[in-house]
């Protein structure tokens, strides 16, 4: 299991103009592959902010995934921020140029999007223009969701995959009715992740981990406690 952090770049996210669907998508894909997402951070379109936060996340994580800010406008400064964080020069990447030739008319635009940190491995973008790239332990992708998904699909397997299982239960009522049960189970089964997600009149509880039999055991212990207390529930598919 590897530790991942996700760094989302964009003033539009911070302003609430768009939802951070990229981070949600990546976190879910990484989680079901058996990895541990330890941070999701959003920073503005600022070289210094990108560099500062990326430097911090690199120390905490095995891999950092960055999305956003790889286009041709004045505020697309992610490549520069990544280079600063890694102490690398920005250079014109000929492989990146090739991925856009014949698809992007403006030579100036190609040069902007193909100027990457030295040593970057380019990942072709078959949905849009700006390619993604990997440098050191950092994967950088465009912010447009369909472009991000296209690029991530090309490298996802490189991160590896561990068995992952989850069970979900919907419990009627409020969270205080089951908080002590969950606390005891969490203390007893430290290798199992237990999530409690309260809604208006019910609580969704998720049990997840790498060992299917243990996940099922924890869920069944939880159900037995609910039955003892007469708390209605429904197992979710």
Token pair for 52: 């500062």
CB 125 within 8 A of CB 99: yes
- Predicted confidence at residue 186, as pLDDT, reads 96
Token pair for 7: 């760094």
Break the chain into its structural domains and give their ranges. 3-159, 165-236
* b (16+ CB within 10 A) / e for 124-147: ebeebbbbbbbbbebbbbbbbeeb
Q: What is the CATH number of domain 165-236?
A: 3.30.70.600
In whole angstroms, what is the distance from residue 192 CA to residue 148 CA? 30
Read off φ and ψ for residue 129, nearest 5 degrees.
Answer: -105, -60
Centroid of chain to Cα 168 = 22
pLDDT tens across the length of the chain (237 residues): 799 999 999 999 999 999 999 999 999 999 999 999 999 999 999 999 999 999 999 999 999 999 999 999 999 999 999 999 999 999 999 999 999 999 999 999 999 999 999 999 999 999 999 999 999 999 999 999 999 999 999 999 999 988 999 999 999 999 999 999 999 999 999 999 999 999 999 999 999 999 999 999 999 999 999 999 999 999 997
CATH class of 3-159: alpha beta
In whole angstroms, what is the distance from residue 35 CA to residue 80 CA? 28
Strand order in the sheet with 193-198: 193-198, 202-209, 165-172, 233-236
3-state secondary structure at position 196 = strand
Q: Which residue has the tokens 């992708």?
A: 141
- Predicted confidence at residue 1, as pLDDT, reads 77
Read off φ and ψ for residue 171, nearest 5 degrees.
Answer: -110, 125
3-state secondary structure at position 113 = helix
In whole angstroms, what is the distance from residue 198 CA to residue 61 CA? 29
């Amino acid at each position: 299991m590897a530790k991942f952090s996700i760094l989302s770049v964009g003033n539009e996210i911070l302003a609430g103009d768009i939802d951070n669907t990229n981070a949600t998508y990546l976190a879910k894909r990484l989680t079901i592959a058996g990895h541990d997402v330890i941070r999701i951070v959003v920073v503005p379109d600022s070289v210094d902010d990108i560099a500062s936060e990326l430097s911090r996340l690199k120390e905490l994580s095995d891999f950092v995934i960055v999305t956003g800010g790889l286009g041709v406008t004045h505020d697309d400064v992610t490549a520069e921020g990544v280079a600063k964080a890694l102490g690398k020069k920005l250079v014109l990447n000929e492989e990146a140029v090739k991925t856009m030739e014949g698809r992007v008319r403006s030579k100036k635009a190609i040069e902007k999007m193909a100027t990457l940190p030295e040593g970057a491995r380019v990942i072709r973008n078959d949905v849009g223009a700006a390619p993604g790239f990997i440098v050191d332990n950092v994967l950088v992708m465009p912010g447009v969701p369909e472009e991000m998904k296209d690029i991530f699909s090309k490298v996802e397997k490189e991160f590896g995959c561990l068995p992952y299982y989850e069970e979900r239960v919907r419990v009627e009522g409020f969270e205080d009715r089951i908080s002590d049960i969950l606390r005891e189970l969490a203390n007893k089964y430290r290798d199992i992740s237990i999530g409690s997600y309260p809604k208006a009149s019910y609580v969704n509880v998720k049990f997840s981990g790498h060992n299917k039999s243990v996940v099922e055991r924890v869920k069944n212990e939880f159900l037995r406690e609910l039955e003892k207390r007469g708390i209605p529930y429904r197992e979710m598919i």
